[in-house]
């Protein structure tokens, strides 16, 4: 059997549930929060998404690794086929590992990539049973044990954003519309989408005081963990929301805008992490398929009268976006820039640039 050639390890959940699997990644004990993703493709993008920082990721699609890992070609100083420079998950859990990969742009196997990034990974685990358990009990701390035991670790108690964002300001493009992007763990494809327009992107760290910067629109990025740990970002946003400049927030950025507006957030039982999550635009019959990756949500009942609902999740009715009633400020919980898809809501980047143009021509 294939498993006879691999070292065995144990996955232990905080509630005492255990699973035995076989290692095809880096062999070291590790802890984190266990979550699941139901997407069929896109594991290079998911594993490099900073929003997964500190999480042990379970992929529910039964066969993983069959198309390998693409090369590290760059575009505008960003890796072309990945969402950041590094793998951010703490570990990977799958059902069956494809030893042989085949794809025109693959340069290495998934296992070799994870070993080089020092990320543990197990296969041979019943991910259907594990996912059903997480859905029933909720996301929880977990750990993978090889030889020495280690304690459980809850990453949501830490400021994960500070671990994944840039340390110094960076500038992309030379367009006429200046967009100040607050990096809370931004995905590369967000920057690529914004650069499709006549823009210049000024990317700054999560806690950067941008009050002295000149810009035409403010963008708040995605990122990992509990949004309430980002106190400096929330405080800066409170000041920004008093102005009339356009603001667009995605995922964690959506939650941070809501907190700055006086609303509250809460932790979802097991989160939304998948492609093809259906959302509906409030007040219309327009439904869209979206890509999502978040464990927290905005409590829309706590929004004040200055705000209205923009999108709703059709599965559980959780909030998927808000917008200001009089100012050009809007947010989405989902990812309009999703790679590799769906791209139903990519038009929102164009809407943001249109709001910038209106503001400049007022």
The single residue of 83, 300, 320, 337 carrying the catalytic annotation is: 337
Task: Evaluate if pTM is beyond 0.85.
Answer: yes
Is a pLDDT exceeding 90 seen at residue 100?
Answer: yes
- Is 337 in the active site? yes
Question: Sorting pLDDT into bands at 50, 70 and 90, what band is 344?
Answer: very high
Bridge partners, 264 (sequence order):
299
Peptide linkage before 340 cis (omega within 30 of 0)? yes
The set of residues, in sequence order, having a beta carbon less than 8 Å from that of 155 and lying 6+ positions away, is: 32, 33, 53, 54, 55, 90, 224, 225
Whether pLDDT at 241 is above 90: yes
- The highest-level CATH class for domain 161-360 is alpha beta
- Backbone phi, psi, residue 129, to 5°: -65, -40
Q: Residue 104: what pLDDT?
A: 95
- Across the chain, mean pLDDT equals 97
| pLDDT value at residue 62 | 87
Cα 255 to the chain's mean position, in Å? Answer: 13
* 45 given a catalytic annotation: no
CA proximity to 165, closest of 85, 246, 243: 85
Which residue(s) pair with 288 in the sheet? 279
* Residue 184 is a catalytic residue: no
Which part of the chain has CATH 3.50.30.20? 2-157
- CA 186 from centre of chain: 8
Sign of dihedral through CA atoms 135, 138, 144, 149?
A: negative
182-196: average pLDDT:
98
pLDDT of residue 1 exceeding 70: no
Question: Residue 154: what pLDDT?
Answer: 97
Instruction: Just give the CATH number of 2-157.
Output: 3.50.30.20
Q: Name the CA radius of gyration of the chain, rounded.
A: 20
Rounded to whole angstroms, the Cα distance separating 73 from 97 reads 25
Residues 3, 236: Cα–Cα separation, whole Å: 52
| Among the listed residues 289, 264, 30, 284, the one whose alpha carbon sits nearest the alpha carbon of residue 152 | 30
Asked if 146 and 27 count as a contact pair (C-beta separation under 8 A), the reply is: yes
pLDDT at 204: 98
* pLDDT tens digit sequence for 10-61: 999 999 999 999 999 999 999 999 999 999 889 999 999 999 999 999 999 9
- Residue 162 pLDDT > 80, yes or no? yes
Q: Where in the sequence of the chain do the CATH 3.40.50.880 domains occur?
A: 161-360
Q: Give the whole-number percent of the chain exceeding pLDDT 70.
A: 99
Answer for the pair 12, 18: CB distance below 8 angstroms, yes or no: yes
What's the full length of the chain, in residues?
362
Active-site residue, from 165, 177, 251, 355? 251
């Amino acid at each position: 059997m294939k498993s006879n050639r691999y070292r065995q390890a144990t996955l232990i959940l905080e509630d005492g549930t255990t699973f035995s699997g076989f290692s095809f990644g880096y062999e070291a004990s590790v802890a984190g929060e266990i979550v699941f993703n139901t997407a069929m493709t896109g594991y290079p993008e998911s594993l490099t998404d900073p929003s997964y920082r500190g999480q042990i990721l379970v992929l529910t699609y039964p066969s993983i690794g069959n198309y390998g890992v693409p090369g590290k070609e760059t575009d505008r100083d960003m890796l072309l086929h990945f969402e950041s420079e590094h793998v951010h998950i703490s570990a990977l859990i799958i059902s069956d590992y494809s030893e042989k990969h085949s794809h025109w742009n693959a340069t290495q196997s998934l296992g070799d990539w994870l070993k080089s990034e020092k990320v543990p990974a197990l296969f041979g685990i019943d991910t259907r049973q594990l996912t059903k358990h997480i859905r029933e009990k909720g996301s929880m701390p977990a750990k993978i044990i090889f030889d020495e035991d280690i304690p459980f670790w809850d990453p949501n108690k830490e400021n994960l954003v500070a671990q994944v964002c840039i340390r110094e300001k960076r500038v992309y493009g030379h367009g006429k519309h200046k967009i100040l992007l607050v990096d809370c763990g931004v995905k590369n494809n967000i920057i690529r989408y914004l650069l499709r327009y006549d823009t210049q992107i000024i990317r700054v760290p999560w806690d950067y005081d941008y009050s002295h910067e000149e810009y035409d629109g403010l963008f708040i990025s995605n990122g990992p963990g509990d949004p309430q740990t980002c106190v400096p970002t929330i405080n800066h946003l409170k000041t920004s929301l008093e102005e009339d400049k356009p603001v667009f927030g995605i995922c964690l950025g959506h939650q941070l805008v809501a907190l700055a507006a006086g609303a509250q957030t809460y932790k979802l039982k097991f989160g939304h992490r998948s492609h093809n999550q259906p959302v509906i635009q409030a007040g219309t019959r327009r439904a869209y398929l979206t890509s999502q990756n978040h464990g927290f949500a905005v409590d829309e009942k706590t929004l004040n009268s200055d705000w209205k609902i923009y999108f709703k999740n059709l599965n559980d009715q959780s909030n998927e976006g808000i917008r200001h009633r009089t100012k050009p400020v809007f947010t989405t919980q989902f990812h309009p820039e999703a790679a590799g898809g769906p791209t139903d809501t990519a038009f929102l980047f164009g809407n943001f640039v249109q709001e910038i143009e209106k503001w400049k021509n007022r």
